């Protein structure tokens, strides 16, 4: 039997094989109830039970197809342009060197980012790396440098101080990418553009001599929280995922009023094609969480989050746990319900960092925050 890495590489290839048609799949092709994870639709259109990991491969490939129907297809990655990393400036901080850089995502588009190199790293030592995705805010990547107006967002800086190499890119329309024109690119959605940019960020981390390319995680709060989940679904090089205040199923998102998901930086098709009807959207977060299996996922879902109401998370986690159990790793799916609002408080960030330490086999240089 082949290993999990080979299985999930195969899954991604299967997903790429249907890219040409994914964007045009009508809502009727998706399962009616996205919470029913342990069944898949066969070639004859009949529902079949998911009883084995091989069965789950069929279901997972259909999840990727549904996501791409809403987001647009993931571009082909076989002929990527060189990353062509350019260092703009360097800043030394407590426990890290921060390089302000840009890297080429594709021809004609460069991604501004901060690259944190921990000064605790011994010469020649390879360490784990984290892709740190910022929440909504004009400062973009500098929010996760703890330079934003709200506390509890400095996870890029804090992880670097713990000894991780950290890459914090700007999401299109924020930070130094504030002028990004979604109408001028080749993407159906800002969400898929973000996924592609973030996968290029993983390319960059794997190319760094300081990084052990098999030990890569992703973390994000709010906007960064669901973007962390999205990129990890499509990129199995990411082995540990943390999402803070990043998701709930569409029916629980403001009582099913999903207009907030339809701006250019998200998924306009949820309006133009699926008419703001959660029943017609060809994927849901039950499936996004399950598609992360068997990799480690920690959801930080506050009890009083007005953006992503917690009842939906509490419905979805047990359903996704069925898939984790099927794959023999129930302990890899974790959730925390802090008694707070839309926030990423100190105790939860500490738990997230310890989660990474364990899953990525990293000995922290310091125990912070």
The 3 state secondary structure assigned to 130-171 is EEEECCCCCCHHHHHHCCCCCCCCCHHHHHHHCCCEEEEECC
Q: State the Cα–Cα distance between residues 119 and 96, nearest whole angstrom.
A: 5
pLDDT, one tens digit per residue, over 254-293 is 999 999 999 999 999 999 999 999 999 999 999 999 999 9
What pLDDT, on the 0 to 100 scale, is given for residue 251? 97
**189-201 burial code (b ≥16 CB/10 A, e <16):** bbbbbbbbbbbbb
**pTM of the shown model:** 0.91
CA distances from 164 to 105, 157, 182, 216 (A): 23, 10, 32, 10
Which token pair is 110? 């460069």
* pLDDT at residue 93 tops 80: yes
* pLDDT at residue 306 tops 80: yes
* pLDDT at residue 20 tops 60: no
* pLDDT at residue 128 tops 90: yes
Quickly tell me which residue has 């994927």 as its tokens.
Answer: 283
What pLDDT, on the 0 to 100 scale, is given for residue 45? 87
What pLDDT, on the 0 to 100 scale, is given for residue 19? 38
Q: Which long-range contacts (CB under 8 A, 24 or more apart) does 318-321 make?
A: 319/35, 319/37, 319/286, 319/290, 320/37, 320/286, 320/289, 320/290, 320/293
Q: What percent of the chain has pLDDT over 90?
A: 89
Burial, 57: exposed, middle or buried (Cβ in 10 Å; 0-12, 13-18, 19+)? middle
The tally of CA atoms less than 13 A away on the side-chain side of residue 105 is 23
Which token pair is 145? 């440098």
What pLDDT, on the 0 to 100 scale, is given for residue 126? 96
pLDDT, one tens digit per residue, over 172-202 is 999 999 999 999 999 999 999 999 999 999 9
Burial, 251: exposed, middle or buried (Cβ in 10 Å; 0-12, 13-18, 19+)? middle
Average pLDDT over residues 161-176: 98
pLDDT band per the 50, 70, 90 thresholds, residue 24 = very low
Which token pair is 165? 């190499």
DSSP β-bridge partners for residue 244: 221, 300
What pLDDT, on the 0 to 100 scale, is given for residue 236? 97
pLDDT, one tens digit per residue, over 40-67 is 998 888 999 999 999 999 999 999 999 9
Average pLDDT over residues 14-18: 39
Give the chain's mean pLDDT: 92
Please provide the distance, in angstroms rounded to a whole number, between the alpha carbons at the two ends of the chain. Answer: 42
* pLDDT at residue 134 tops 70: yes
């Amino acid at each position: 039997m082949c290993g999990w890495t080979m299985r999930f590489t195969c899954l991604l290839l299967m997903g790429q094989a249907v890219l040409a048609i994914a964007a045009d799949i009508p809502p009727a092709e998706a399962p009616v109830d996205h919470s029913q994870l342990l069944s898949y639709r066969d070639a004859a259109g009949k529902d079949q039970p998911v009883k084995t990991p091989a069965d789950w491969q069929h279901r997972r490939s259909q999840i990727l197809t549904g996501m791409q129907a809403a987001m647009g297809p993931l571009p082909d990655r076989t002929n990527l342009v060189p990353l062509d990393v350019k260092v703009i400036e360097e800043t030394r901080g407590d426990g890290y060197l921060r390089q302000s850089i840009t890297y080429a995502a594709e021809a004609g588009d460069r991604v501004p980012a901060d690259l944190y190199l921990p000064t605790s790293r011994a010469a020649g030592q390879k360490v784990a790396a984290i892709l740190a995705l910022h929440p909504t805010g004009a400062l973009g990547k500098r929010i996760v440098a703890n330079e934003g107006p709200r506390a509890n967002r400095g996870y890029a800086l804090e992880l670097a101080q713990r000894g991780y190499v950290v890459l914090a890119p700007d999401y299109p329309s924020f930070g130094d990418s504030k002028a990004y024109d979604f109408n001028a690119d080749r993407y159906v959605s800002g969400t898929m553009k973000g996924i592609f940019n973030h996968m290029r960020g993983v390319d960059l981390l794997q190319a760094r001599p300081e990084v052990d390319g098999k030990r890569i995680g992703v973390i994000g709060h709010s906007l960064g929280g669901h973007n962390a989940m999205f990129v990890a679904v499509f990129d199995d090089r990411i082995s540990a995922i943390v999402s803070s205040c990043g998701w709930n199923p569409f029916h629980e998102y403001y009582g099913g009023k999903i207009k907030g998901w339809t701006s250019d930086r998200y998924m306009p098709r949820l309006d133009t094609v699926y008419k703001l009807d959660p029943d017609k959207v060809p994927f849901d977060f039950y499936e996004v969480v399950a598609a992360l299996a068997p990799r480690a996922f920690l959801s930080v879902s506050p009890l009083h989050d007005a953006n992503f109401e917690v009842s939906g998370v509490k419905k979805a986690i047990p359903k996704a746990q069925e898939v984790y159990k099927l794959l023999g790793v129930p302990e890899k799916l974790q959730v925390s319900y802090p008694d707070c609002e839309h926030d990423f408080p100190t105790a939860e960030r500490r738990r997230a960092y310890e989660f990474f330490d364990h899953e990525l086999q990293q000995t922290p240089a310091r125990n912070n925050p």
